[in-house]
Amino acid sequence: RKEVEQDPGPFNVPEGATVAFNCTYSNSASQSFFWYRQDCRKEPKLLMSVYSSGNEDGRFTAQLNRASQYISLLIRDSKLSDSATYLCATLYNQAGTALIFGKGTTLSVSS
């Protein structure tokens, strides 16, 4: 059964800190991975897609380790506005675009 598991939260960090989340997946055939950000009572919004070894976008870096079947999200120089829940996802199966999500990790950045 496909499963996606994430680090338990919450993560409480000060502004400027570097924080990393891990996400493990059970289906070794998974090819595509996504990090979504979800603010309280809002819809998930795509933060980053990960298809090969990794991806970087400004302060955010995602890395994929196929051998150990995990992906990570690194946030550098945390801002107050980074406070949210971060959801890891992979494709439900390779035939479509539906997603299977982890439970999410909550990040709280304080001043």
Partner 1 sequence: DAGVTQSPTHLIKTRGQQVTLRCSPKSGHDTVSWYQQALGQGPQFIFQYYEEEERQRGNFPDRFSGHQFPNYSSELNVNALLLGDSALYLCASSHFKRQGRHQPQHFGDGTRLSIL
**Contact stretch for partner 1 (CB under 8 A) within 11-19, 36-44, 56-64, 75-83:** 36-44
Count H helices and E strands in the chain, helices first: 0, 11
Work out which of 75, 100, 107, 109 binds partner 1, going by CB under 8 A: 100
Per CB under 8 A, 31 contacts partner 1: yes
Which neighbouring-strand residues pair with 109? 13
User: What are the distances in angstroms from CA 93 to CA 3, 9, 96?
Assistant: 12, 27, 6
The residue among 70 and 92 lying less far from partner 1, judged by its C-beta, is 92
For tokens 């479509």, name the residue.
Answer: 96
Give the residues lining the site for partner 1 (CB under 8 A): 4, 31-32, 34, 41-46, 49, 51, 87, 89, 92-93, 95-104
